[in-house]
Structure 1
Amino acid sequence: MFGYTFYWSMVWEKLPELIEGAKATLLLTVTSMVIGTLVALALSLLRRQQSGIGLHISTGWIEVARNTPALFQIYMIYFGLGAVGLHLSSFTAMLIALSFNNAGFLAEIFRGGLQSIPKQQYVAARSLGIGSFQAYTHVVFPQLFRVVYFPYINQLNWALLNSSLGMVIGLRELTGATQAAQSESFRTFEFFIVAAVLYYALSKAIQLGARLSFWRWVKE
């Protein structure tokens, strides 16, 4: 229709590189979510305080993470720290930036979830002689993750898509690998169509896995 001829053979030759990029994307996504989750749990608890430095730290973190572009955060980690002599690899910088962003959004998700859990649950656990840390990990947090399960999965999916920004600092995740491959052949449509299909497949796999996991969890 537009006089464009598709040449898919070039894409198939570079497909192993795109698959490697997809693996890097998954590693970055999962690792940043694990780190982000741990930090977010701490931030959400600190945010519940009435005063103190912990409240200010958590509030500042959440405000910056949620109200500045993720691309800005990546630049600040990669180029900003580099300007003061701290040079990080593209993967490390992207992991820190994405974990920072995830933690900010997850902290608010967790805070909302914690507000829906009666405080008597924690008090009752403490009255039985259970320590504060154990009360949270064995009583409060299991209930919390049931409440925020699907918003959490949405953030996981968002982290997957945000990982594509790693391309701007030279990271060879899926988008970076795709950009590098198409720059050698100039077959933009073919390569980015395949990349879009891979992103879609990864995203739908996450959603399907989440629904199956939740169904099994509820049935237990």
Structure 2
Amino acid sequence: MFNYTFRWNQAFQALPQMLDGALVTLQIALLSMVIGVALALVLTLFRRSESRILRGFATTWVEVARNTPALFQIYMAHFGLGSFGIHLSPFTALLAGIAFNNAGYLAENFRGALKAIPETQPRAGRSLGMTSLQAFRLVVLPQMARVAFLPATNQMVWAILMTSLGVTVGMNTDLAGVTQALNARSFRTFEFFALAAVIYYLIAKLVTLAAGLLARRLFRY
């Protein structure tokens, strides 16, 4: 018989703590995206390299990142590296795992964006006296950013949601960790996790909305 008594007041009283955790969640997601974009650009260049070693390294990274669970990647950063004497804090392990995942997915997004750019574009830059690197940076990269921007927004949302996996490695300052701690003290599971789900949803929608506005401003032409 359904006899559960909802006590939303406890959840709303803890809302400031949960919002503090949401800020940590957003911080991890943003840092992981910055690192992920930088690594993805390097992987993109490696995949275009004439070196089989560099191409193989980049391809392996992308394949592992895209075809293994994100939880596995976070576990490897926290527990796996610990087996070799490299001990990362829960925050750092979570950041490293998400950044690794982001880099793999973003590198594939960038590869698709590059395919949308005609080969004549970099050749036109070279004909104006640019080096290969200058042509990539000044001609190809801006067009690639335009094509890949909105797909990268989806990856940002995914990064926000992936932070919830931090509780499995002892992360207790992000939204999921704070919610878990509050639930352990009060056993009001439905109320706390329902409120956390709403906060995650609002963060994701705000990020999507902000990205859409930014895209219209940056890529008007």
TM over 0.5: yes
Length-normalised TM-score, structure 1: 0.95
Q: C-alpha deviations, 1:39-58, integer Å up to 9, x for none? A: 11111222133542110100
The alignment of Structure 1 onto Structure 2 pairs a total of residues equal to: 220
Q: C-alpha deviations, 1:132-184, integer Å up to 9, x for none? A: 33322221111001112221111111111111111111112111110011110
Report what 1:175 is aligned to: 176
Report what 1:151 is aligned to: 151
Which has the larger displacement, 145-154 or 71-80? 145-154
Which has the larger displacement, 126-135 or 145-154? 126-135
Tell me the CA shift for residue 202 of structure 1.
0.3
Matches within 5 A, 1:55-70: 55-70=55-70
Tell me the CA shift for residue 217 of structure 1.
2.3
- Please state if 1:202 is matched with 2:203: yes
Q: C-alpha deviations, 1:69-91, integer Å up to 9, x for none? A: 11011111100111221111111
Identical-pair percentage:
52
Report what 1:217 is aligned to: 218
- Please state if 1:53 is matched with 2:53: yes
Tell me the CA shift for residue 13 of structure 1.
2.7
- 3-state DSSP of counterpart to 2:7: coil
Report what 1:127 is aligned to: 127
- 3-state DSSP of counterpart to 1:114: helix
Length-normalised TM-score, structure 2: 0.94
Which has the larger displacement, 21-30 or 10-19? 10-19
Aligned equivalents of 1:205, 1:28: Cα separation in 2: 16
Aligned equivalents of 2:46, 2:5: Cα separation in 1: 57
Which has the larger displacement, 141-150 or 198-207? 141-150
Aligned equivalents of 2:37, 2:127: Cα separation in 1: 28
Aligned equivalents of 1:202, 1:81: Cα separation in 2: 31
Tell me the CA shift for residue 97 of structure 1.
0.8
Aligned equivalents of 1:200, 1:87: Cα separation in 2: 33
- Please state if 1:108 is matched with 2:108: yes
**Which structure 2 residue ranges, 5 or more long, are not aligned?**
none
Aligned equivalents of 1:30, 1:182: Cα separation in 2: 27
1:45–1:111 CA contact under 8 A, matched in 2: no
Tell me the CA shift for residue 211 of structure 1.
1.2
Report what 2:166 is aligned to: 166
- 3-state DSSP of counterpart to 1:219: coil
Aligned equivalents of 1:21, 1:166: Cα separation in 2: 12
Aligned equivalents of 2:132, 2:102: Cα separation in 1: 26
Report what 1:19 is aligned to: 19
Aligned equivalents of 1:42, 1:131: Cα separation in 2: 18
- 3-state DSSP of counterpart to 1:148: helix
1:23–1:173 CA contact under 8 A, matched in 2: yes
Aligned equivalents of 1:115, 1:27: Cα separation in 2: 32
Aligned equivalents of 1:48, 1:132: Cα separation in 2: 12
